[in-house]
Amino acid sequence: MIEKMQGSRMDEQRCSFPPPLKTEEDYIPYPSVHEVLGREGPFPLILLPQFGGYWIEGTNHEISSLPETEPLQSPTTKVKLECNPTARIYRKHFLGKEHFNYYSLDTALGHLVFSLKYDVIGDQEHLRLLLRTKCRTHHDVIPISCLTEFPNVVQMAKLVCEDVNVDRFYPVLYPKASRLIVTFDEHVISNNFKFGVIYQKLGQTSEEELFSTNEESPAFVEFLEFLGQKVKLQDFKGFRGGLDVTHGQTGTESVYCNFRNKEIMFHVSTKLPYTEGDAQQLQRKRHIGNDIVAVVFQDENTPFVPDMIASNFLHAYVVVQAEGGGPDGPLYKVSVTARDDVPFFGPPLPDPAVFRKGPEFQEFLLTKLINAEYACYKAEKFAKLEERTRAALLETLYEELHIHSQSMMGLGGDDDKMENGSGGGGFFESFKRVIRSRSQSMDAMGLSNKKPNTVSTSHSGSFTPNNPDLAKAAGISLIVPGKSPTRKKSGPFGSRRSSAIGIENIQEVQEKRESPPAGQKTPDSGHVSQEPKSENSSTQSSPEMPTTKNRVESAAQRTEVLQGFSRSSSSASSFTSVVEETEGVDGDDTGLESVSSSGTPHKRDSFLYSTWLDDSVSTTSGGSSPGLTRSPHPDVGKSGDPACPEIKIQLETSEQHTPQMGC
């Protein structure tokens, strides 16, 4: 008995002064909340669960330690929202500007989508390279002066990711490809958030008690008004966070806030419907329990334990305890807790962690909540989902780019030429042929991928296909276009345009220039000059180029590529007028991306230079996180569908077989 008491005393000491970021797991269980409540106060705002699993930030709330003349929070403190700079690179530097997109399939890395751009930053020439693999996106800006020789596309990819091991990349020929690519890159960005708000009264220790509270104290009401604005849910037009805005099934009102262009809907425990006789109060728990981050508000000094609420979703809590502040307004003590696998997130709590009610604290609190959600997405459960999502989306993007590029090339044949003359029928016939070929290869892939399933009874939900099988299937599909009756030297159509031009094709252009022009000159469309037409012709035939031809010419490739690059520069200059026209468009995809010039006036150069510096700094500080698992605009991803409903392809995915823990 005495030993037990001594043990309790030691535990109490440990609990009274835990370190600011306590992450160690201790074999001795922490005292239960009931044990702690049995002692004299004051109590910490947060207690660890008996078997740990969480860290705590902000454990000093001694108001008396504040110097009287010092403000509660330093005005120079900068509260900063986390960001994902990698997700925005394509939109900032590539979209609407002249650049090239490629795709390929690596046996180890899987699907690859590669964007590259010639960039002038300051007065120095650079290559901006953006390579997407199933695990992450690689980005680099490389001064051309650092290169001993001008690299080909595969060599460029190796510059940003040494593990790339493919023979070649295929050019993306689809005019709307940039829209698909930017949608993929930005699928991790979200501007909508929902946070739970839980009201904890003195002595409450279970979720049943927390969710059964209906009355709101004046201090809690004041806090809610401070947090955001009260809104009627009926016909609410902003982000509703899963609440019912039509039938009133989730209560009549809630608390909502728009903070730095981010919409926040709060799930307030006392404003969600109360159900008599329901111990779990499912109508409340269903929403708060599905939030990732929650605020716990306490009127008085009572401890909150993060495992009070059983949820696999809730990963972080910000606990706010009211302290009567007197004439200057209330003071709030703040502690933060999160699961062990959630990385630390800012802004850091001051020491002591006490705030005066006001706009500074509101900004701090909302920033802390948003950064908490970003951080929670890096926890194991959510990170795995993001990996799965990213790999599946990248495969879908690869397939879309491949199908569209094949379709573009399929229009070159004699039969297509005749059909196209008669109207749209020929065009769609060509699409159908490509789709049929694609379906066959998909079936082949499905067949080979299904085989392992009979061996194992475990499945992961991953969409990542078995790479060797997919490589085989991809090979099959790549052979198919060669069977179509296509003449390499057929005349180009004026209306066709490529969104990307491979460097291999520049060599082809050289050859065409040496030969006399063939056939009649087709009518020139308003925005297409001679050179793009030539490029289209050469692009059509490049997949059918025999491998031996490539090998034989490799010795001369360097000189050819360099000359080609020089031509590209002059092409850029000649499109200055087009650039001016493009700038007048309201961000719509005009299909002129491939002819936009990378040359800019000196003034713009300065802007670009400073932008690059900002990118560099933020990238360094942010690291290369996998990003967030939210899709802000599901419809955006589907906006391409109405344009070409005929070419929806059924994607059969194979399962990765990993042993699954028994239930």
Partner 1 sequence: MEGLVLRPAKDYRVVVLGSVAVGKTALATQFACGRFPERCEPSVEELFSKVIEVNRAPALLEIVDTVGAEHLVTLKDLYIRNSDGFVVLYSVCDEASFQAVRPLRERMGRLRGSRAVPLVLVGTKADLDAERQVLTAQGRALAREWRCPFLEITTKSKTMVDHVFTQVVREMEALAPPGQEAPRIPANALETWPAERFIG
Q: Which stretches of the chain bind partner 1, using CB under 8 A?
A: 187, 194, 241-242, 244, 246-247, 249-250, 275, 280, 282, 285-287, 289-292, 310-314, 381-382, 385, 388-389, 392-393, 396, 443, 446-447, 450-451, 453-455, 457-461, 463, 629-631, 634, 637-638, 641, 645, 648, 650-653, 655, 660, 663
Cβ distance to partner 1 smaller for residue 73 or 280: 280
Cβ distance to partner 1 smaller for residue 146 or 455: 455
State in angstroms the smallest separation of the CB of 451 from partner 1: 4
Q: Is the CB of residue 104 less than 8 Å from the CB of residue 397?
A: no
Q: Is the CB of residue 27 less than 8 Å from the CB of residue 51?
A: no
State in angstroms the smallest separation of the CB of 25 from partner 1: 22
Cβ distance to partner 1 smaller for residue 555 or 663: 663
Cβ distance to partner 1 smaller for residue 336 or 647: 647
Residue keyed to tokens 């046996």: 107
Q: Is the CB of residue 499 less than 8 Å from the CB of residue 470?
A: no
* Tally of CB atoms within 10 A around 630: 18
* Tally of CB atoms within 10 A around 281: 21
Q: List C-alpha distances in Å: 90 to 101, 152, 404, 526, 631.
A: 11, 21, 20, 28, 17
Give the separation between CA 586 and CA 607, rounded to whole angstroms.
Answer: 21
Give the chain's end-to-end CA distance (angstroms, integer).
Answer: 40
For residue 226, give both structure tokens. Answer: 């401070």
For residue 405, give both structure tokens. Answer: 């590029």
Cβ distance to partner 1 smaller for residue 158 or 381: 381
State in angstroms the smallest separation of the CB of 463 from partner 1: 6
User: Dihedral sign, CA of 538, 539, 544, 549?
Assistant: positive
**3 state DSSP class of 550:** helix
Cβ distance to partner 1 smaller for residue 93 or 284: 284
Cβ distance to partner 1 smaller for residue 357 or 381: 381
Q: Is the CB of residue 98 less than 8 Å from the CB of residue 598?
A: yes
Residue 257's identity, in one-letter code, is C
Rounded to the nearest 5°, which phi and psi values hold at 616?
A: -60, -45
Cβ distance to partner 1 smaller for residue 578 or 649: 649
Cβ distance to partner 1 smaller for residue 453 or 530: 453
State in angstroms the smallest separation of the CB of 495 from partner 1: 27
* β-bridge pairing 316-323 and 331-339: antiparallel
Q: Is the CB of residue 292 less than 8 Å from the CB of residue 314?
A: yes
Give the separation between CA 422 and CA 427, rounded to whole angstroms.
Answer: 10
State in angstroms the smallest separation of the CB of 247 from partner 1: 6
**3 state DSSP class of 20:** coil
Cβ distance to partner 1 smaller for residue 282 or 552: 282
Cβ distance to partner 1 smaller for residue 121 or 644: 644
State in angstroms the smallest separation of the CB of 644 from partner 1: 12
Of 297, 296, 305, 294, nearest to 376 by C-alpha is: 294
Q: Is the CB of residue 323 less than 8 Å from the CB of residue 383?
A: no
For residue 619, give both structure tokens. Answer: 């990238």
State in angstroms the smallest separation of the CB of 637 from partner 1: 7
State in angstroms the smallest separation of the CB of 244 from partner 1: 5
State in angstroms the smallest separation of the CB of 468 from partner 1: 16
State in angstroms the smallest separation of the CB of 165 from partner 1: 27
* β-bridge pairing 170-171 and 229-232: unpaired
State in angstroms the smallest separation of the CB of 477 from partner 1: 16
Give the separation between CA 233 and CA 248, rounded to whole angstroms.
Answer: 7
Give the separation between CA 491 and CA 534, rounded to whole angstroms.
Answer: 10
